[in-house]
Chains A and B, each alone.
Chain A
Amino acid sequence: MMDKLYLVARIADTRVALRSRAINSVVTVGTPVEVPAAPPHVAGLFALRSRVFTLIDPHVVVGLPSVPVAPGQRVVVVDVAEHGYALLADEIEDVCFIDAPETRVTGKLLPGWARVADAMIEHEGHSLLVVDPSHFITLPAQRAA
């Protein structure tokens, strides 16, 4: 079942699980084109097969300082509202089938994470946050102001 496929990756210094159906692809980027005056989590633009994607730095979204893009870095490509975005990933681990059920988030998360996390899931003895990539696209209101 597609529903049980997850992409396990390290995003914003945290291991998370992303539902595979929310993800378009995983690719590597070269040097992105900067977007002056854009919100801080916009790390730039890059082209992939004649489409222009907006690069998002998840560090900024969860409240960490931004991290420069390294050439060849891998990104998670998602489509939100007909626009293409790419989340910078610190590390892509694997796409795996996780049979365990998603559970309610327990414990108090940092505000930045609380906003993007949907649930938790057990994988190989670790608890992973299940995050919705589309939540990374927008900044929390008070930050965007």
Chain B
Amino acid sequence: MGRTDTAMDDLLNDFLAETAEILAEAGGALVAWEADPADRAQLDAIFRLVHTIKGSSGFLALPRVTALAHAAEDALDQVRRGNRPANAALVTGVLGIVDRLSQLCATLGSKGAEPAGDDSDVIGALAAAEDMSEAPAEPAEIQLRRDDDIVTDLQGWRSIRVPLPLLDSVMTGVTDIVLARNEFARMLRESGADPALIAAFDRLSDSIAGMRQSVSQMRMQRIDKLFAPLPRIVRDLAQDLGKKVRFATSGGEVELDREMMENIRDPLIHIVRNAIDHGVEALDGRVAAGKDVTATIAVSARQSGNQIEIEVRDDGRGLSPDALVQKAISARILSAADARALTPREKLELIFRPGFSTAAKITSISGRGVGMDIVKANVEKIGGLVELRNDEGRGLAVVLRVPMTLTIISGLMVRAAGQYFAIPRGAVREILLETSDTVRIERVGGGEIVTVRGEQFPLLRLETILGRTRDHRDDVEDRALVLVRPGQGHSYALSVAAIHDHEELVIKPAAPMIMATGLYAGTTLPDNGRPVLLLDVQGILAAAAIDASEAGRSLDHAVEAEAAAAAARNAAQLLLFRDIGGRTRGIRLSVIERVEEVPALALFESAGQIQAQIGDDIFPVHAAKLPEGHGTLKLLRLNDGQMVLCYPIEEVVDIVRLPDTVQPAAAPGLVAGIALVAGDPVELVDPFWLMEQYARGAVAPAARQPICRIADDHDGWGDNFLAPILQSAGYRVVAETSGETADVMLCLTDEGAARAGDGDVPVIRLRASAAAAGPDDETVYRYDRGALLDALRRRTGGAGA
């Protein structure tokens, strides 16, 4: 290869790199200028960019590029001179030229020569745009300053182009120097060297640190570069969709590692496109919502510490958590049961689930197979985060938070099996000592789980995953749990022998066969010069084949899951309602047939009894007086299979699981007992008692309840303990003093034999001791429920349930 050719190639490469940048910048500048044609500075900038391309292409003998650049320059110059108006047609024409130039440059880059072809179409389009233009703009507003503009430009940019591999090799070289310095420093310390020598070394050390800083700086680029193509994308997409969008960027001076920039370019473009396609409403939608028809999309960057925050904010409709849930359920990426357990934040984050698309229909823009899941994965791959700040109805902000440089991440160094490993700090939720009071480790069916403050995590031991044994030198007291959250909605606890420290780590990919284990994300070289493997926290999860999903895991969620399970089993559920008096009460859901809403006028009084007319039927209502007012009234409709009773309520509060423990009421009545529901006492309505009040007399008591009288109840045991059992077994319990004729009498004392004079009423005697007095002892031990109910059944001729 001849020397001249090489020089030519270098020139061409420089030209291509420079032109690619200029074209991206020009696209953005053109769109900005279109929005404000009076912005003279913007026009001058575009003119200079095109002029630069024309100049360098002429030198390289690229006739097509030169012709195109010349046409654009000419048109822009006419505008500068005031001979031609700045309008959308002109901008579209120039953008057409910019596109053609990009294509040509791409071909030049791959083929090394300018392809033959004809550009009269785009050049003609630009000329035609002039003919079609309406009234000429006011020439007076534009001044002629062309020559000095170009001069200032040349002075403004004093920089040279450096090939990236050279930059990378400088970076590697400096890292080598740093490592050698560290080694040397250690040796100096150990040798007990002369302080003067150490001082001299420290100076060297400082300048090396400064140099490392500068080299890192060399790789930095202004984020402007990343923003440059966005205005063009926004303009084109907004036009396609018939939306009006104002686009603004800020913080373009923030600097970012060039490799990082490459990695967030596509996610950023995707988010911006999403904002226009899904976020911004159609024009009529914006009018209906009382918003400015022109939507605003703002992209801003700012640096915070070692991180760069890039925010894409729109003032569109925002995300609707409920709509997201519905969509997720219909897309079968979420079950209805799981959906109930989601927090509002988790609902929003459904958009990051694979296979999720927020558009009601797939549009040409959204249907490109790239979803927010890919965006999130790409950002997380480089150690970044994606956050949503949603304001439903008013807009959405998507925030990308990425480390400033790709290669350096913050890592947590841990020890296991006698060697060190690094865990990306971003994936670590919390670090706890295994001996901590808040940690409870249990073995369950061969696996281990850990409960931390009520939340359960699957526990993985790093040694087990790596197939190693614990190092005998490890102190059990040092063992720590790292709560790892590798991705959305997944977390687990990783048990390690010890936590070492945090370090800023330079990460390099490991050899393919090491990456293939799925356990490592790369290697790093800390200051001691011994390589350390970076653990792949997601891969470990896959290797362990455990379900680390957080759904239904925490105890709060567990209660809900339990409730759902209880419902499935048809277990007792309690309907909580606020009654007319404003008191919260509960009633077993199974006795409620339905909740009726009736006009107050449907209630009437008849024979001292409130009745309700619902449809063609008349039902008794449990109320002392007719409701006041003429509004509507909610009625719980209780049905025992034979009759219906209405119970007026203010409103239904909730449906909860019937608590296991109920404090029974002292005497049978409307309230069967009190239970704690979510910490608050709730009166449980006794449907049995309720129905009983209205069953009597209303309908013929076909299945009359056997009446059971409790005698000799000196200490209230019969009333408090025995009566509820009897009632639930289908007996009506009457007090000893009651005049009603009982079917059976329960005598609570052994010596009550003399009082068995209640006609023919059979008597069952209860004894206090568990053991019978003799073989013919007919008394029943008072806590032997089965024997007691048996005896009752026999005495009353099989009645009762």
Chain A residues proximal to chain B, CB less than 8 Å: 33-39, 42, 45-47, 49-52, 54, 81, 83, 85, 137-139, 144
Inter-chain CA distance A87–B378, complex, in Å, is: 35
Please tell me if B477 contacts chain A, counting CB pairs below 8 Å: no
What is the chain A residue whose CB lies nearest that of B175? A50
Tell me if A42 and B419 are in contact (CB < 8 A). Answer: no
New contact pairs (11) apart from A33-B531, A35-B514, A35-B520, CB-CB < 8 Å: A33-B419, A35-B533, A36-B417, A37-B519, A47-B179, A49-B176, A50-B178, A52-B524, A52-B525, A81-B512, A144-B513
Inter-chain CA distance A86–B243, complex, in Å, is: 60
Tell me if A33 and B530 are in contact (CB < 8 A). Answer: yes
User: What chain B residues lie within 8 Å of A46 (beta carbons)?
Assistant: 531
Tell me if B532 and A33 are in contact (CB < 8 A). Answer: yes
Q: Which of B58-115 contact A (CB under 8 A)?
A: none
Q: How far is the CB of B58 from chain A (nearest CB, A)?
A: 39
Q: A37-B466, A50-B172 are in contact. Are A138 and B529 (CB under 8 A)?
A: no
Tell me if B176 and A50 are in contact (CB < 8 A). Answer: yes
Inter-chain CA distance A138–B514, complex, in Å, is: 11
What is the chain B residue whose CB lies nearest that of A45? B531
Q: How far is the CB of A67 from chain B (nearest CB, A)?
A: 19
User: What chain A residues lie within 8 Å of B532 (beta carbons)?
Assistant: 33
Tell me if B523 and A45 are in contact (CB < 8 A). Answer: yes
User: What chain A residues lie within 8 Å of B465 (beta carbons)?
Assistant: 37
Please tell me if B703 contacts chain A, counting CB pairs below 8 Å: no
Q: Which of B400-439 contact A (CB under 8 A)?
A: 417, 419
Inter-chain CA distance A50–B407, complex, in Å, is: 14
Chain B residues proximal to chain A, CB less than 8 Å: 172, 175-176, 178-179, 417, 419, 465-468, 508-514, 516-517, 519-520, 523-525, 529-533
Tell me if B508 and A137 are in contact (CB < 8 A). Answer: no
Q: A33-B532, A47-B529, A47-B530 are in contact. Are A52 and B419 (CB under 8 A)?
A: no
Q: How far is the CB of B506 from chain A (nearest CB, A)?
A: 8
What is the chain B residue whose CB lies nearest that of A41? B513
Selected from A38, A39, A52, the residue in CB contact (under 8 A) with B508 is: A52
User: What chain A residues lie within 8 Å of B523 (beta carbons)?
Assistant: 45, 52
4 closest residue pairs by CB, A with B:
A36-B466, A54-B511, A45-B531, A50-B176
Q: A33-B419, A83-B512, A85-B511 are in contact. Are A38 and B531 (CB under 8 A)?
A: no
Inter-chain CA distance A83–B512, complex, in Å, is: 8
Selected from A34, A38, A137, the residue in CB contact (under 8 A) with B419 is: A34
User: What chain A residues lie within 8 Å of B419 (beta carbons)?
Assistant: 33-34
Inter-chain CA distance A30–B529, complex, in Å, is: 11
Inter-chain CA distance A25–B18, complex, in Å, is: 38
Tell me if B533 and A45 are in contact (CB < 8 A). Answer: yes
Task: Please list 27 pairs of residues, one from A and one from B, whose beta carbons are closer than 8 Å in the complex, sorted by A's number.
Answer: A33-B530, A33-B531, A35-B514, A35-B533, A36-B417, A36-B468, A37-B466, A37-B467, A37-B517, A42-B511, A42-B514, A45-B510, A45-B531, A49-B176, A50-B176, A50-B525, A52-B508, A52-B510, A52-B523, A52-B524, A52-B525, A52-B531, A54-B513, A83-B511, A83-B512, A137-B513, A144-B513
Inter-chain CA distance A141–B357, complex, in Å, is: 41
Inter-chain CA distance A137–B533, complex, in Å, is: 19
Inter-chain CA distance A81–B419, complex, in Å, is: 28
What is the chain B residue whose CB lies nearest that of A82? B509
Inter-chain CA distance A47–B466, complex, in Å, is: 22
Tell me if B513 and A138 are in contact (CB < 8 A). Answer: yes
Inter-chain CA distance A42–B512, complex, in Å, is: 11
Q: How far is the CB of B231 from chain A (nearest CB, A)?
A: 37
Q: How far is the CB of A133 from chain B (nearest CB, A)?
A: 14
By CB atoms of chain B within 10 A, which of A34, A46, A139 has the most?
A34
User: What chain B residues lie within 8 Å of A83 (beta carbons)?
Assistant: 509, 511-512
User: What chain B residues lie within 8 Å of A51 (beta carbons)?
Assistant: 172, 508
User: What chain A residues lie within 8 Å of B176 (beta carbons)?
Assistant: 49-50
Q: How far is the CB of B460 from chain A (nearest CB, A)?
A: 13
Q: How far is the CB of A76 from chain B (nearest CB, A)?
A: 15
What is the chain A residue whose CB lies nearest that of B520? A35
Inter-chain CA distance A51–B168, complex, in Å, is: 13
Q: How far is the CB of B136 from chain A (nearest CB, A)?
A: 60
By CB atoms of chain B within 10 A, which of A51, A52, A85 has the most?
A52
User: What chain A residues lie within 8 Å of B466 (beta carbons)?
Assistant: 36-37
Selected from A47, A50, A54, A139, the residue in CB contact (under 8 A) with B514 is: A54
Tell me if B517 and A38 are in contact (CB < 8 A). Answer: yes
Tell me if A38 and B514 are in contact (CB < 8 A). Answer: yes
User: What chain B residues lie within 8 Å of A37 (beta carbons)?
Assistant: 465-467, 517, 519
Q: A47-B525, A52-B508 are in contact. Are A42 and B530 (CB under 8 A)?
A: no
By CB atoms of chain B within 10 A, which of A36, A37, A42 has the most?
A36
By CB atoms of chain A within 10 A, which of B172, B175, B516, B531 has the most?
B531
Tell me if B531 and A47 are in contact (CB < 8 A). Answer: yes
Q: A50-B172, A50-B525, A54-B510 are in contact. Are A36 and B467 (CB under 8 A)?
A: yes
Inter-chain CA distance A39–B510, complex, in Å, is: 13
User: What chain B residues lie within 8 Å of A50 (beta carbons)?
Assistant: 172, 175-176, 178-179, 525
Selected from A36, A42, A47, the residue in CB contact (under 8 A) with B513 is: A42
What is the chain A residue whose CB lies nearest that of B178? A50
User: What chain B residues lie within 8 Å of A54 (beta carbons)?
Assistant: 510-511, 513-514
Inter-chain CA distance A39–B518, complex, in Å, is: 12
Inter-chain CA distance A34–B524, complex, in Å, is: 14
By CB atoms of chain A within 10 A, which of B419, B513, B532 has the most?
B513
User: What chain B residues lie within 8 Å of A38 (beta carbons)?
Assistant: 513-514, 517
What is the chain B residue whose CB lies nearest that of A35? B514
What is the chain A residue whose CB lies nearest that of B174? A50
Q: How far is the CB of A26 from chain B (nearest CB, A)?
A: 19
User: What chain A residues lie within 8 Å of B525 (beta carbons)?
Assistant: 47, 50, 52
Inter-chain CA distance A135–B744, complex, in Å, is: 97
What is the chain A residue whose CB lies nearest that of B533? A35
What is the chain A residue whose CB lies nearest that of B416? A36
Tell me if A39 and B529 are in contact (CB < 8 A). Answer: no
User: What chain A residues lie within 8 Å of B509 (beta carbons)?
Assistant: 83
User: What chain B residues lie within 8 Å of A47 (beta carbons)?
Assistant: 179, 525, 529-531
User: What chain A residues lie within 8 Å of B517 (beta carbons)?
Assistant: 35, 37-39
Q: How far is the CB of B518 from chain A (nearest CB, A)?
A: 9
Q: How far is the CB of B226 from chain A (nearest CB, A)?
A: 26
What is the chain A residue whose CB lies nearest that of B463? A36
What is the chain B residue whose CB lies nearest that of A31? B530
Q: How far is the CB of A113 from chain B (nearest CB, A)?
A: 20
User: What chain B residues lie within 8 Å of A139 (beta carbons)?
Assistant: 513
What is the chain A residue whose CB lies nearest that of B468? A36
Inter-chain CA distance A36–B535, complex, in Å, is: 11
Inter-chain CA distance A1–B686, complex, in Å, is: 104
Q: How far is the CB of B741 from chain A (nearest CB, A)?
A: 84
Inter-chain CA distance A38–B514, complex, in Å, is: 6
Inter-chain CA distance A137–B514, complex, in Å, is: 11
Q: How far is the CB of A46 from chain B (nearest CB, A)?
A: 7
Inter-chain CA distance A49–B180, complex, in Å, is: 8
Q: How far is the CB of A102 from chain B (nearest CB, A)?
A: 29
Tell me if B512 and A39 are in contact (CB < 8 A). Answer: no
Inter-chain CA distance A36–B509, complex, in Å, is: 17
Inter-chain CA distance A137–B468, complex, in Å, is: 24
Q: How far is the CB of B339 from chain A (nearest CB, A)?
A: 38
User: What chain A residues lie within 8 Å of B524 (beta carbons)?
Assistant: 52
Inter-chain CA distance A47–B523, complex, in Å, is: 10
Inter-chain CA distance A38–B523, complex, in Å, is: 14
Selected from B179, B513, B519, B520, the residue in CB contact (under 8 A) with A39 is: B513
User: What chain B residues lie within 8 Å of A81 (beta carbons)?
Assistant: 512
By CB atoms of chain B within 10 A, which of A38, A39, A54, A139 has the most?
A38
Inter-chain CA distance A33–B422, complex, in Å, is: 13
Inter-chain CA distance A33–B419, complex, in Å, is: 8
User: What chain B residues lie within 8 Å of A34 (beta carbons)?
Assistant: 419
Inter-chain CA distance A35–B467, complex, in Å, is: 11
Inter-chain CA distance A85–B510, complex, in Å, is: 11
Inter-chain CA distance A42–B531, complex, in Å, is: 14
User: What chain A residues lie within 8 Å of B513 (beta carbons)?
Assistant: 38-39, 42, 54, 137-139, 144
